[in-house]
A and B are shown apart, each in its own frame.
Chain A
Amino acid sequence: MIEFYNVNVQIDGKYILREVSLRILKGEFVYLIGPSGAGKSTILRLIYFDLFPQAGTVIVDKYSSAKIRRKDIPYIRRKIGVVFQDFKLLTDRTVYENVALALRVTGVKSSEIKRRVMRILTEMGLSQKRNHYPQELSGGEQQRVAIARAVINEPFIVLADEPTGNLDPRTSLEILETLERINKKGTAVLMATHNYDLIRKFKHRTIKINRGMIV
Chain B
Amino acid sequence: MKRARLATVIAVTSVSLALLLIGLFGIFYLNMDRWIGRLRAKMEIEVFLDPTVKQEKIDQLRKSIQQIEGIESVQFISKEKAAKRFKQEFGQDIFDIIENNPLPPSFVIHLKKGYRTYMRVSAISGQLQKLDAVDEIVFQKQLLQIVDRYIQIVYLGTILIGLMITFIAFVLIYNTIRLTIYARKDIISIMRLVGATERFVRRPFVVEGMAQGLIGAAIASILLFYFIKFVKTFIYPYLATTPYLFLILLGLGWLLGMISSRLSVGKHLQNV
Interface set of A (CB-CB < 8 Å, partner B): 48, 70-71, 74-78, 82, 88, 90, 101-102, 105-107, 149, 153
Contacts and interface: CB of A to CB of B under 8 A. Distances in A.
A106 B195 contact: yes
Contacts of A107: 200
Interface string B177-199: 00000000011011111111110
A101 B190 contact: yes
A74 B197 CA distance: 5
A57 B193 CA distance: 21
Task: Give the size category of B's interface with A.
Answer: 10 to 19
Contact of B200 (A77, A105, A153): A105
B60 to A, nearest CB: 78
Q: Is the interface of B mostly helix, strand, loop or mixed?
A: helix
A83 B193 CA distance: 10
A213 to B, nearest CB: 27
B194 A90 contact: no
A74 B190 contact: no
A71 B202 CA distance: 14
Which of the listed residues A48, A101, A105 has the most CB atoms from chain B within 10 Å of its own CB?
A: A105
A74 B186 contact: no
Contact of B195 (A70, A90, A105): A105
A153 B197 contact: no
Contacts of A75: 195
Given A82-B193, A90-B187, A149-B194, 19 more contacts: A74-B192, A74-B200, A75-B195, A77-B195, A78-B195, A88-B186, A88-B190, A88-B193, A90-B190, A101-B190, A101-B191, A101-B194, A102-B194, A102-B195, A105-B196, A105-B197, A106-B195, A106-B196, A153-B194
Contacts of A106: 194-196
A144 B28 CA distance: 64
B187 A74 contact: no
5 contacts: A82-B193, A101-B190, A105-B200, A106-B195, A107-B200
A77 B197 CA distance: 10
